[in-house]
Homo-oligomer: A and B are copies of this chain.
Amino acid sequence: MQTSLRTHNCGELRLSHVGQEASLCGWIQRSRDQGYILFVDLRDRYGITQVSIKSDEHKEIYDKARKLGREFVVKFTGMVVERESKNPKLPTGEVELVPTSMELLNEAKLPPFLIQDDTDGLEDLRMEYRYLDLRRPKMTQNFETRAKVMRATREYLDSKGFLEIETPFLIKSTPEGARDFLVPSRLHHGTFYALPQSPQIMKQLLMVAGMDRYYQIVKCFRDEDFRGDRQPEFTQIDCEMSFVGQDDVLDTFEGMTKHIFKSVANVDLPDFIRMPYKDAIKYYGTDKPDLRFDCKIVDLNDHLGGTDFSVFNKLIENDGLIAGIVAKGCASFSRKKLDALTKFVKEPHMGASGLVYVKYNEDGSIKSSVDKFYSAEQLQKLGEQAGAEKGDLLLIVADQLHGKTRKILGQLRLHLGRQEGWIDEDKWSVFWVVNFPLFEENEETGALTFAHHPFCMPDEENLKFLYSDKEEDLKKVAAQSYDMVINGNEIVSGSVRVHQPDIQERIFEILGLSKEEQDAKFGFMLKAFEYGAPPHGGCAFGLDRFVMLLTGESSIRDVIAFPKTAGGRDIMMDAPAEVPVENLGELGIGLK
């Protein structure tokens, strides 16, 4: 870090430097004037070093330094000495600098919030003064971690023969699910480039080009209505490899993830389980379960029929689904707590009609909200089937739609996990969910649409159904696709791709894309695939969210240097902004 202005940085000096002369540059974190001595905490990216100036020994420096405000930029040169009262919390806490000269490098206005981890700055203010917000040590550490993740990624992929190749940002608008950002062309009025939602097509063309193994850490763009923590521009670790099957891809990126965890967080991850999508839904009601705690969904249709409880009887008759989860040690839940859980599952976006509970008390007694329909013996047997023991609470949800029952229980499971502290925050749950369905129903139109994207290879077992006319058959087709789930977040998504033009065209046909639409939208890709496409597959990591998890942050905005607000605005630079009307004229466009 040595430059012509400094000999060391502010995190570097130790006892071993005592007796040496040193020059430090940094920002004034704070000053404590004790009359006869002034202590200045000088901060830079690397740490804080105490500078101490005695009024009788260095009167001139003392007088000047007293006037330094917070965040002034200063250079001190002097001797490194051992501190009398050491600060074990600071790596530099055993020493201090006694300056023989001081240079004011720049002044600073008083910052609108405190530059420290527990800042008093609210989000909007922090965003407007992002360059001050980033000075907080926690933020600096986040970007150091982010850089480490990128470095570990490249180390691993370079060692495996992956080539880093840049793909273009000014591409053709292609329908990949979300809305494209458009860029008007000045040289060809009436036409537009699009910013890539991902380099999906490009990377597949690189496989056709024989590049064999490709990666890129790259910005992607989606003009969505920003839900929650989404950003219009986000970063992917984008990868693709040739002459592979699904397991090759999974092995490779499992290895990479382990390497990153080890390099960045010194965590040794165990081998990742590969959970079929069907099992994830069946046991956890979600395709991204958090496995840091147990608690599986148990199907209960077989154990709840044949009584006077007509609601359940009817559901069983009509092939609905009754299922539950066992909340370990929760038999003692109060009425209030149970009511809150009932309220939770009945919320409009969940839509349960109710929540049945059975308490298996420590004393052997059983208490349930359906006591009048089931005998204690029946409930005892039910508990055995469900795996409930003394002290446990069985929570039951039922709905005609299987998916709905499971989804509600999955949410309830997670809710309880968080509420009851079942989640060990020091634990990592990292695994693969594999073989997603190829198609799913569009919730609005009911038409079949692609679950991941239209380039996923059907699994060989179900390939035959691809040529069926029946929607129920088509829904059986699983894809050679996979997500990596970390602590309940989908961090990686990928698939083995279709490399045969005939299968690709059949998929487009099922998606309702006419030959003309296929040609207009993907013509160049379909054409490329006629010239010798190798079998290939890959995946993309959501870097922002990945780093968010590794840094323990709860928002991706805390791991992006200059993020946008929920409305897609950059408050600091005031973008987007109006532009002179003549600039629009040059582009052949006007405002409507």
Contact = CB atoms under 8 A, between A and B. Distances in A.
Interface of A: 1, 3-6, 9, 25, 27, 43-46, 71-73, 75, 105-109, 111, 129-135, 140, 143-144, 146-147, 150-151, 154, 158, 161, 163-173, 179, 181-195, 201-202, 205-206, 208-213, 219, 221, 223, 225, 232-233, 235, 241-245, 247-248, 499-500, 523-524, 528, 530-535, 560-564, 567-570, 572-579, 583-592
Contact of A577 (B6, B168, B192, B221): B192
17 contacts: A1-B213, A3-B243, A5-B245, A9-B212, A45-B163, A46-B212, A131-B528, A147-B165, A166-B560, A168-B561, A169-B195, A173-B583, A179-B583, A182-B584, A184-B184, A205-B572, A589-B592
A267 to B, nearest CB: 21
Contacts of A107: 532
A575 B191 CA distance: 8
Given A5-B244, A181-B183, A590-B590, A193 B531 contact: no
Contacts of A576: 170, 172, 183, 185, 188, 191-193
B243 A171 contact: no
A240 to B, nearest CB: 13
B562 A168 contact: yes
B235 A579 contact: no
Given A532-B73, A591-B190, A170 B500 contact: no
- Chain B CB within 10 A, most for which of A46, A225, A235, A589: A589
A564 B172 CA distance: 12
Contact of A583 (B75, B182, B205, B531): B182
Contacts of A131: 205-206, 208-209, 528, 531
Contacts of A188: 567-569, 576
- Chain B CB within 10 A, most for which of A146, A183, A588, A589: A183
- Closest 8 A-B residue pairs measured CB to CB? A108-B532, A134-B209, A172-B575, A191-B576, A185-B576, A131-B209, A71-B532, A45-B212
Contacts of A524: 572-574
Contacts of A219: 166, 169
Contact of A105 (B25, B44, B232, B534): B534
Nearest to A500: B106
A192 B579 contact: yes
Contacts of A213: 1
A165 B211 contact: no
Contacts of A133: 209
B583 A169 contact: no
A187 B567 contact: yes
Nearest to A137: B210
A165 B143 contact: yes
Contacts of A235: 166
Given A233-B169, A578-B190, A161 B1 contact: yes
B535 A5 contact: yes
B134 A210 contact: yes
A326 B235 CA distance: 56
A256 to B, nearest CB: 15
B575 A193 contact: yes
Contacts of A564: 168, 170
Contact of A244 (B4, B9, B167, B568): B4
B166 A561 contact: yes
A537 to B, nearest CB: 10
- Chain B CB within 10 A, most for which of A154, A158, A193, A221: A193
A562 B109 contact: no
A57 B244 CA distance: 30
Given A190-B578, A210-B140, A169 B166 contact: no
A163 B151 CA distance: 10
A188 B577 CA distance: 9
Contacts of A590: 589-592
Nearest to A132: B531
Contact of A4 (B164, B171, B248, B574): B248
B44 A212 contact: yes
B132 A209 contact: yes
Nearest to A188: B576
A154 B144 CA distance: 14
Given A166-B219, A172-B575, 20 more contacts: A3-B243, A9-B212, A44-B210, A106-B500, A109-B531, A147-B164, A147-B165, A150-B164, A154-B154, A166-B560, A169-B169, A169-B221, A170-B181, A170-B221, A170-B233, A170-B570, A191-B578, A191-B579, A524-B572, A588-B592
